[in-house]
C-alpha cells in the first residue's frame, strides 16, 4: 500500500496497465515529455517511449478519431483531453461515431477507448477551464461515464475502464487532484463500473452526489451531525450506467433526498436522479427531493466561491429537507 493523491493514482493506473498490456497506449496534447497539463502522464514517456505515449497536434477531433481507429485495430488507447472545456471539437467523433460502433456493427466491433479529462471548478480557471458538462455524455447511449472521488477509486475505476470493451468518458475532478490522499494498493485491482458506494452511513436524509462534491457533502454531513442530523452520503462513482438501486435503497431508508453537484441545475444530472427517485420511491419520501447545484450561467471567475456549492449551502438544503 502506498499513500497517493488522486492524480498519482491516475498515473499509477495507466502505468500498471501499460506494463501488463502492450496494447495500452496514451495519446493527447503534451502527454509525452511534458507529462500533460496537470502532469498526469509524467514519467510515462521515459518509461514506455514515444510509440506508446504520443503527443498530438492541438486537435481534439483528431485525437478522438485516431483513438477510435486504434481501438478498431485491436489497441486500447487512452485519449487525454486537457480540460473538459476543450472536448467539444471532438463531440461529433464521440457521440456520433465512437458511441455508435458497437450498435451499428451488431456487436461485431467494440471500441475500448478511454477518454480522460479533468472537469469542474475550484482552480480559478474561469469559464473556459471549469465546466461540468457530464450530462451530455451520460445522455449518449453507448458511452460509459465514470467519475471517481477518492484515490482508491481513481485507480480501480480507471483500470476497469481501460479493460472495458465499451468507450468510457473518465471524468477527473481536478480540484481534488492533489488535496485528497489515501492508501492505495500497489499493483492491479479494479473497482466495478456501475456500482455506487455509501461514503457515509446515515439514517435521516440521503445526500446523493459524485466527484469532488462528495467531499463537500461529507463536510456538510459533519456540520449537521453537530445538530443531531444523521446524513447518509451516496457516492455514485458512475453516472452511466447508474446504480439506481443503491440510491433507492438509501432513500427508502431515510425518506429524504438531497442531490448535490456543481453543474448547472437546469437539465443537469441531478434532475435525472431526482426523476428516478420520484418514479420509483415516491411512497418512501417524507419531503420533496431537493437539488443543490451550480447556477444556470457560464462559470464565473470572480464569484467561483459563490457558484460552487460549498458545505454550508449543502447543509442548508439538508436542514430544509429535515424541517419539511
Tell me the C-alpha distance between 290 and 84, whole Å. 27
- What rounded mean pLDDT belongs to the chain? 97
Tell me the C-alpha distance between 171 and 202, whole Å. 27
Average pLDDT (270-277) is: 98
Q: What is the pLDDT of residues 147-170, one digit of tens each?
A: 999 999 999 999 999 999 999 999
The SS3 call for residue 257 is: strand
In this prediction, residue 286 has a pLDDT band, given cuts at 50, 70 and 90, of very high
Class of residue 147 by CB neighbours under 10 A (exposed 0-12, middle 13-18, buried 19+)? buried
* Residue 1: DSSP 8-state: -
User: How much of the chain is in helix, strand and coil states, percent to nearest 5?
Assistant: 40, 20, 40
Q: What is the pLDDT of residues 178-210, one digit of tens each?
A: 999 999 999 999 999 999 999 999 999 999 999
In this prediction, residue 127 has a pLDDT band, given cuts at 50, 70 and 90, of confident
Q: What's residue 74's pLDDT?
A: 95
Q: Do domains 2-184 and 197-322 have the same CATH topology?
A: yes
Domain range annotation of the chain:
2-184, 197-322
User: Beta-strand (E) ranges in the chain?
Assistant: 2-5, 24-28, 53-55, 76-80, 114-119, 144-146, 168-173, 181-184, 197-200, 205-209, 231-235, 238-240, 257-264, 290-294
Tell me the C-alpha distance between 114 and 111, whole Å. 9
Tell me the C-alpha distance between 309 and 262, whole Å. 6
Tell me the C-alpha distance between 173 and 170, whole Å. 10
* Residue 271 reports pLDDT greater than 90: yes
Cell of 217: 457533502
Q: What's residue 285's pLDDT?
A: 98
CATH architecture for residues 2-184: 3-Layer(aba) Sandwich (3.40)
Domain boundaries 197-322, corresponding CATH code: 3.40.50.920
* Residue 171 reports pLDDT greater than 90: yes
Higher pLDDT, 96 or 300: 96
* Residue 229 reports pLDDT greater than 90: yes
Q: What's residue 72's pLDDT?
A: 95
The SS3 call for residue 118 is: strand
Q: Grid coordinates 470493451 are at which residue?
A: 165
* Residue 235 reports pLDDT greater than 90: yes
Q: What's residue 315's pLDDT?
A: 98
* Residue 139: DSSP 8-state: T
Q: What's residue 123's pLDDT?
A: 87
- Shortest CA distance to 205 belongs to which of 284, 147, 283? 284
215 is catalytic: no
Q: What's residue 10's pLDDT?
A: 98
Residue among 45, 129, 139, 215 flagged as catalytic: 129
Amino acid at each position: 500500500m502506498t499513500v497517493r493523491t488522486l492524480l498519482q493514482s491516475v498515473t499509477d493506473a495507466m502505468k500498471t496497465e501499460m506494463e501488463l498490456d502492450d496494447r495500452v497506449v496514451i495519446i493527447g496534447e503534451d502527454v509525452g515529455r511534458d507529462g500533460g497539463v496537470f502532469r498526469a502522464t509524467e514519467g510515462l514517456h521515459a518509461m514506455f517511449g514515444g510509440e506508446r505515449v504520443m503527443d498530438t497536434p492541438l486537435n481534439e477531433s483528431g485525437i478522438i478519431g485516431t483513438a477510435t481507429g486504434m481501438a478498431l485495430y485491436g489497441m486500447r488507447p487512452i485519449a487525454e483531453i486537457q480540460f473538459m472545456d476543450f472536448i467539444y471539437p471532438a463531440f461529433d467523433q464521440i457521440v456520433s461515431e465512437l458511441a455508435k460502433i458497437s450498435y451499428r456493427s451488431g456487436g461485431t466491433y467494440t471500441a475500448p477507448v478511454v477518454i480522460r479529462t479533468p472537469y469542474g471548478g475550484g482552480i480559478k480557471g474561469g469559464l473556459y477551464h471549469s465546466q461540468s458538462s457530464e450530462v451530455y455524455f451520460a445522455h449518449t447511449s453507448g458511452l460509459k461515464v465514470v467519475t471517481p472521488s477518492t484515490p482508491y477509486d481513481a485507480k480501480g475505476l480507471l483500470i476497469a475502464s481501460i479493460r472495458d470493451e465499451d468507450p468510457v468518458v473518465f471524468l477527473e475532478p481536478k480540484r481534488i487532484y492533489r488535496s485528497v490522499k489515501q492508501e492505495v494498493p500497489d499493483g492491479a485491482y479494479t473497482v466495478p463500473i456501475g456500482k455506487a458506494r455509501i461514503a457515509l452511513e446515515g439514517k435521516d436524509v440521503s445526500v446523493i452526489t459524485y466527484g469532488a462534491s462528495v467531499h463537500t457533502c461529507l463536510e456538510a454531513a459533519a456540520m449537521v451531525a453537530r445538530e443531531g442530523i444523521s446524513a447518509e452520503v451516496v457516492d455514485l462513482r458512475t453516472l452511466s450506467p447508474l446504480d439506481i438501486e443503491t440510491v433507492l435503497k438509501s432513500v427508502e431508508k431515510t425518506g429524504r433526498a438531497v442531490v448535490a453537484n456543481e453543474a448547472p441545475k437546469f437539465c443537469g444530472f441531478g434532475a435525472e436522479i431526482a426523476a428516478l427517485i420520484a418514479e420509483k420511491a415516491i411512497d418512501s419520501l417524507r419531503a420533496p427531493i431537493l437539488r443543490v447545484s451550480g447556477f444556470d450561467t457560464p462559470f464565473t471567475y470572480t464569484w467561483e466561491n459563490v457558484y460552487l456549492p460549498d458545505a454550508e449551502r449543502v447543509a442548508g438544503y439538508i436542514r430544509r429537507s429535515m424541517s419539511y
